[in-house]
């Protein structure tokens, strides 16, 4: 298992990042030092030209983990500006609110790489694309591992 280099992984558009996050392992180090791991099984991309993208700080720093209104978001960057990816589901927890609760994150907090990071165990996945979970607009920007939900 290898830790993903945040400095390089997120310097690209949200659509690419959201797809490539599927199957990766999200790791959370708790306050008592225990590391918990879950596989990412659903993501949702918000590109810079999308009206739902957050462009103010702290959503502008590439690779930043931000807890916002019961969602765990990661900021990536494309030529159009900041993009966001929401972690929609992880092993055993469906929906962004359930993800936030499982990870023990608090809205408004920014999480550093020593407490929240990604790992790649080489798992190859197939995914299906669909509309946004809560904002159906015809864009195929919601990605799920096939057969997982």
- Please tell me what DSSP assigns to residue 24: P
DSSP code per residue over 73-114: EEEEEETTEEEEEEEEEETTEESHHHHHHHHT--TT-EE-TT
Residue 112: HSE in the Cβ half-sphere, 13 Å Cα cutoff: 1
Q: Is the pLDDT of residue 119 over 70?
A: yes
CATH superfamily of 2-145: Methylpurine-DNA glycosylase (MPG) (3.10.300.10)
Q: Which residues contact 56 (CB under 8 A, 6 or more apart)?
A: none
Residue 71, classed as helix, strand or coil, is strand
Return the closest-CA partner of residue 85 out of 96, 100, 97, 74: 74
Q: What is the mean pLDDT of the chain?
A: 81
pLDDT tens-digit profile of 29-81? 888 889 999 999 999 988 766 655 555 555 556 777 777 777 888 888 766 66
Which of 58-89 are b and which e, b meaning 16 or more Cβ less than 10 Å from the residue's Cβ?
A: ebeebbbbbbbeebbbbbbbbeeebbbbbbbb
pTM of the model: 0.86
């Amino acid at each position: 298992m290898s830790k993903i280099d945040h400095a390089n992984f997120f310097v690209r558009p949200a659509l690419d990042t959201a797809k490539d996050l599927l199957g990766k392992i999200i790791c959370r180090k708790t306050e008592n030092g225990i590391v918990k791991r879950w596989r990412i099984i659903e993501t949702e991309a918000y590109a810079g030209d999308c009206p739902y993208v957050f462009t103010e700080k702290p959503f502008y720093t590439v690779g930043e983990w931000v807890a916002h209104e019961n969602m765990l978001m990661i900021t990536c960057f494309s030529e159009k500006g900041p993009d966001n990816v929401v972690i929609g589901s992880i092993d055993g927890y469906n929906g962004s609110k359930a993800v936030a609760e499982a990870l023990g994150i608090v809205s408004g907090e920014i999480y550093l790489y020593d407490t929240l990071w990604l790992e790649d165990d080489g798992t190859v996945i197939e995914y299906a694309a669909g509309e946004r979970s809560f904002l159906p607009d015809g864009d195929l920007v919601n990605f799920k591992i096939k057969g997982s939900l």
